[in-house]
Structure formats: C-alpha cells, structure tokens
Structure 1
Amino acid sequence: MQTVNEKLMEFLTNNPNSSKAAISEATGINGLVLFNAIKKLQKEELIISEGEGPEMVFSIVESHQEEILEQESEIEKKVGEVESEESIVKSNGRDNSKYKFNNQEYGKGPLVRAVVAKYVEDNSPMTFKKLKEVFPDTLLKRFGIFQDVEMAKEIGGKGNRYFTKSDQIIKLKDKSVVVCNQFTFENFQPFLKVAKDIGYKIK
C-alpha cells in the first residue's frame, strides 16, 4: 500500500504544476496531512513550489522525476517478466545510474556536488574565478554547475535548483557557492568528462 508521500510524488510526476486543491481532489489527501507531506518533501528537496497563496503550484524537482518514472516502469515490468536494470534503461530511455567516487555511491546531482567539493578541498585556497575556469557555466546551460548563493536564488526563482542546505554550501576563499541539482543523463556527460580529465576516478 502506498504511503501518503509516495501517492503525492506519483501524482505530481504525472501532473506537474498542480495546486493543493487539485492534489487534494485527485488523491484524497487533504488538510494537515497534505500540508505535512508537502512540507516534508520540500525539506528533502524532492518537490518545489511556485507562486503564492491559492495560486501556488507544486512540481517534482527535475533531478528526481526521472527516478520516479524509472521506478514506475520497473513495477509495471515485474508482471510476467524479469529484466536487467540495463535493459530497462534502454527500453524507456531514462537513466537511474549510480556512480562510485571516493568509495561512496552517488546519484548524478550529489556526485557533482561531491566532486566540486573535493576539488576545492584538494586545491585550497580556491577562488570563485579559478573554480569557474575548471567548471564553466557552459557545462550546464541555464543553471551552471555552481553559482554563488545570491545568483543561485536569482536563477532558481522560487524553485530550489541547487543544493542549498547549510552543510551542502561550499566555501571558497572569496565566496560561498552552491552546486546545481538539475541533472539528466544527457546534461551530466560534459561534467563527467571534465571530472575524469582532471584526474578523478568515477565508476
């Protein structure tokens, strides 16, 4: 049986930019239960909100949406057949890969943050300008691999497009920066190449 959070995530995956009223009507989740579920998922950076008051709408953070769709696809395929993860990725065109770096396993967004943080640590003191030379904005159009905190707020709008929790902020010599979390298989590849080119082993 689905939990409230699972039901909410599934609905928003198929119905992005939905208001509380629309969510409540379609899922039967309402009142304080809905409020707490939304609050928890926003805190975990799984959903974002745009607008204010009754006009506020909610959507899945892009970096998690493909993972949810991947899980739904796996459930459907368990009926009557067993397929490897690789064949599932090939058949539905989505990627839910995990990557190993420094003996830890990461999804795409968390891996990018870990690599940038490691590079800053290995090359301290690091300035904003020098870090941009290694990971330029051209590696991830629209958002950039990382931005300073204020620029991230401006680019992301009311949606949280960066890892902004206090323990996720990376401190440089002259600024504090946050790493973007908006990665798909395709837009992740340029960063992966740069990370390997500068000597980091990623499996």
Structure 2
Amino acid sequence: MRQAILILALLLPAASVLGTAAEAKPEACLTSLEGFPTPLQYDTDDAEMRQNRSYRERFLGGYGDITCPGYVTLRAMTPGLTDSERSVFCLQYDAKAETYTGFSQGKRNAYVHCAQPTRAFCEKVNDSRDSALAIAGNAGRGALSGVNAVQNGAGAVVMSGTGASIGSALSSLGASTAAALSAPAVLAAAAVTVVAVGGTVYVCSE
C-alpha cells in the first residue's frame, strides 16, 4: 500500500505541486520516491512553499541527486490537502539509499524530514470522508475512549494508542476505517497514529 501511494506520485501532473499565483514561474526539480527518480515542478513565487523552505535547505541544497525542496515532495505525496492541513506530516528519508520512503506524522527538521524518524508510515484510508467527520466529531466530544486524541490548529485530529485500543475506539465509525484498522499488522502494532484531516483519514503504523 505504501509503495502504491509513492508510485502514484510519479503520475501526478505538474500542476499538483504548483502554487496558485496568477502568473506561475515553474521551476523543474528532481526528487526520489522509493528509489524512483521523480521529476516535479513548483512555483518559485509560491509564498507558502517559501515559508516552508528553510534557509539551510535553500542555500545548501538537497541530498544526493534530489533538487526538489522537501515541501514540494511532501505536496506530491499528499494531494488533496491544503498546505495548512499537511502541516502535521513530515517526510521519511533513507539517507543510505538517498530516497524518500514515505511520510509520517510528527515534527519536521529544516528539510521537512521527520525530526525524530521512526519506522511508522502513513497510508490513506479509502473512501474516508464520512469516517474523518465522525472521528473529528467524536474526538471533539471526548467520545473516543482508550486513546489520546488531540486537535491542532490546522483542523487535524491526531489520535494515538495501541492498535487494539484504536481499533476498538473506531470500530463503529465507518466500514473503510474499520477495515484498515482491522488489518493484522495494524492491530499488532504497539503504537498507531490516526490522522483525520481535510476529509481524509491516514493510518500511521510500522
């Protein structure tokens, strides 16, 4: 599933990572997803992209053959979210292979990489809009017992707990979410994070 998400980014149109300026100035760049060289473009006048690009990355460049700013790669991996909504995510980077392996929930470093890399990766749950609304509504009322649920300024609800506790708390909130959380690998995970943001649900586990 994780690899399918990354390969999907190979097919994204250049417009998916461009800003919304009236007169875009596209800049071609190269990233790497699961070892696949991936050409992207971004708008050099995009204020949001500049805000999420540190001075260190701007002047020292990327890693290896990667020339895309980290935020441009994250945008390609999380289509459908606004820049504010995707602020809860960071990039997982394999320094040995010099490639991005996915994205996770957590704080970022100067390159939009996860400041504390883990073995957890986030995957989108199919047909999850109703589930996302249900998770947000129940978390807001404190109705999800046995898990830690936090809502941030971007409107994302971030839930954390064991696979079993998360699965139990969300089992009645939607068939697609329940199916994703009932996978043996998720239920067996010692730590699972569920992010409901922008009408989408992401399940993050090892």
Do the structures match in fold with TM over 0.5?
Answer: no
More helix by share: 1
TM-score (norm 2): 0.30
More strand by share: 2
TM-score (norm 1): 0.30
More RCO (CA 8 Å, sep 6+)? 1
